[in-house]
Structures are given as structure tokens and as C-alpha cells.
């Protein structure tokens, strides 16, 4: 029932959505979406962090979004410190009914659930990202969407990771990324490698080089060639999983 309601669908399945997400669930649905947005933002920040020359404007905007979510969650009392590890493993089928998030917080109270993800046709990496990360999902059965308030490891606070990201953005070198996530174990890193490879290495250009899992468009960045080889290898492993 949960899965059906929250799966990406086109507009026609509106009625199913309404049935599945009754009043009570609207509020928890908002929390889920907010959590998904937070996770997505953290992944984006990490991507920024790993790329050759992070786009400062984009990083600042994403970081501000994360802060906003954090503030609201603190006010709600639902704030739990998020670890980069957890963020990276969020399966993408949690990113549904995104229109809920796009409306104001006031509208959320008793608001009708939005029709299913009508933006399934939006061009971009999203549909291409799915095959990769859904392969990841079986590894982490506990992060299912119905486990709202499951205990999470406290890894020393969110503030610290965000600030570290900014510091290292300034004095950027590939070594910094290693330092920041040095205690993260390998499956997470694989996801990052894949995501890095998909974004195309040199620049976080929107929608550029994000078509499917094809290697990035040839650019001046020679530092990514080894990543691309690794990407193919990692993709093979993931697909076989």
C-alpha cells in the first residue's frame, strides 16, 4: 500500500494516491519528502566536493537549503543528526510526490496529497540514476520508507560536516575529500564514484553529460579518465548485484 502510493506515476494515477495517503499520512509524508530532500542535498554537496572545481554559487545555495531543512526539523523536534553515510544510501524511490515539498509549509496541514510524480518525463539524470541506486537498495533493507524514526548513529553532528565541506571547498584538493569521509566504508564510496562519473568529472554542469551511464563528454579534464574506467567497472558490479 505504501509502495503503491509513493511510487512515481503519471498524473492518471491520482486516485490511487489519494486512497493510499489518507489524512494522517499526509504529515508523515511531508516529513519523508523533507528527509529525502535533505538526503539529496547532502549527496549533491558531496558531489560538489568531489569534483575538480566546485561551483561556489551552487554549493552555497544547496548548503542554505540544507540549513533551512535542518532549522525546520529542529523546530519540529524531528531533527536527528545525519551522517554522510546514511545520506548516500537513501534509495531513490523515496524521492516521490515531490510537489508536496514545493508548496508552502502552511499548505501541508490537511493538504491533499499531490498527484504522483508527473515529472517522470523531465529530462535529466533522474530516470537514469534509478537503475543504479535501486541496485543499492537491497543492501540496506532497514532504510525503507516506513521506518520513519528508526535509530540512527550519531556521528558527531551535522554542523560539523557542513562546515568542513565549506572549508575544504576553499582549499580544494582531491585529498580533502578523502579526509572528510575517511571513516566511510566502501559501498558508500562506490555510489559516489558512480555519481561522480555520471556528472562528468570536470564540471557540475546541469544536465550536461548526464545522459544515461555513458562516459562523460570528452572535455579537457584528463584527471577523470581513470574515474571513467573505474565507473564502467563499478557499474558492471552494481548491475550484477
Partner 1 sequence: MGLSAFSKCLPIQEGQPWEMKTPADIISTVEFNHTGELLATGDKGGRVVIFQREPESKNAPHSQGEYDVYSTFQSHEPEFDYLKSLEIEEKINKIKWLPQQNAAHSLLSTNDKTIKLWKITERDKRPEGYNLKDEEGKLKDLSTVTSLQVPVLKPMDLMVEVSPRRIFANGHTYHINSISVNSDCETYMSADDLRINLWHLAITDRSFNIVDIKPANMEDLTEVITASEFHPHHCNLFVYSSSKGSLRLCDMRAAALCDKHSKLFEEPEDPSNRSFFSEIISSVSDVKFSHSGRYMLTRDYLTVKVWDLNMEARPIETYQVHDYLRSKLCSLYENDCIFDKFECAWNGSDSVIMTGAYNNFFRMFDRNTKRDVTLEASRESSKPRAVLKPRRVCVGGKRRRDDISVDSLDFTKKILHTAWHPAENIIAIAATNNLYIFQDKVNSEMH
- Interface contacts to partner 1, rule CB under 8 A: 10, 33-34, 37, 40, 44, 52-53, 55-58, 60-61, 63-65, 68-69, 95, 98-99, 101-106, 114, 117-126, 162-163, 166-167, 169-174, 202-207, 210-211, 217-218, 220-221, 223
Nearer to partner 1, 13 or 34 (CB): 34
| Count of C-beta atoms within a 10 Å radius of residue 11 | 11
CB of 61 to partner 1, least distance (A): 5
Nearer to partner 1, 129 or 184 (CB): 129
Q: How far apart are CA 86 and CA 155, in angstroms?
A: 10
CB of 240 to partner 1, least distance (A): 27
Nearer to partner 1, 102 or 151 (CB): 102
- Any idea what DSSP says for residue 215? P
Q: How far apart are CA 14 and CA 127, in angstroms?
A: 21
Alpha-carbon distances, residue 63 vs 70, 76, 140, 176 (angstroms) = 10, 20, 26, 18
State the residue for C-alpha cell 506515476: 9
Those residues with Cβ within 8 angstroms of residue 195's Cβ, 6 or more apart along the chain or in another chain:
43, 47, 129
Nearer to partner 1, 106 or 138 (CB): 106
Nearer to partner 1, 176 or 234 (CB): 176
Those residues with Cβ within 8 angstroms of residue 13's Cβ, 6 or more apart along the chain or in another chain:
115, 116
Q: How far apart are CA 2 and CA 127, in angstroms?
A: 21
CB of 19 to partner 1, least distance (A): 22
CB of 182 to partner 1, least distance (A): 19
CB of 241 to partner 1, least distance (A): 24
Cβ proximity of 204 and 51 under 8 Å: yes
CB of 35 to partner 1, least distance (A): 12
Nearer to partner 1, 75 or 186 (CB): 75
- Any idea what DSSP says for residue 147? -
Amino acid at each position: 500500500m505504501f509502495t503503491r502510493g509513493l511510487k512515481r506515476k503519471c498524473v492518471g494515477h491520482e486516485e490511487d494516491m489519494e486512497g493510499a495517503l489518507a489524512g494522517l499520512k499526509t504529515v508523515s509524508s511531508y516529513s519523508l519528502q523533507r528527509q529525502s530532500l535533505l538526503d539529496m542535498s547532502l549527496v549533491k554537496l558531496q558531489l560538489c566536493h568531489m569534483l575538480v572545481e566546485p561551483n561556489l554559487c551552487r554549493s552555497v545555495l544547496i548548503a542554505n537549503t540544507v540549513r533551512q531543512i535542518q532549522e525546520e526539523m529542529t523546530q519540529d523536534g524531528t531533527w536527528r543528526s545525519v551522517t554522510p553515510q546514511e545520506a548516500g544510501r537513501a534509495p531513490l524511490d523515496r524521492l516521490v510526490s515531490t510537489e508536496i515539498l514545493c508548496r508552502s509549509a502552511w499548505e501541508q496541514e490537511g493538504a491533499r496529497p499531490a498527484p504522483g510524480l508527473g515529472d517522470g518525463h523531465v529530462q535529466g539524470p533522474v530516470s537514469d540514476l534509478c537503475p543504479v541506486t535501486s541496485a543499492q537498495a537491497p543492501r540496506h533493507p532497514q532504510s525503507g520508507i516506513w521506518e520513519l524514526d528508526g535509530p540512527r548513529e550519531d556521528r558527531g553532528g551535522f554542523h560539523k560536516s557542513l562546515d568542513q565541506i565549506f572549508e575544504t571547498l576553499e582549499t580544494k584538493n582531491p585529498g580533502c575529500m578523502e579526509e572528510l569521509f575517511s571513516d566511510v566504508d566502501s559501498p558508500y564510496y562506490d555510489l559516489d564514484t558512480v555519481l561522480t562519473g555520471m556528472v562528468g568529472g570536470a564540471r557540475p554542469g546541469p544536465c550536461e553529460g548526464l545522459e544515461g551511464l555513458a562516459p562523460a563528454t570528452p572535455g579537457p579534464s584528463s584527471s577523470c579518465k581513470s574515474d571513467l574506467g573505474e565507473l564502467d567497472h563499478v557499474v558492471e558490479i552494481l548491475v550484477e548485484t
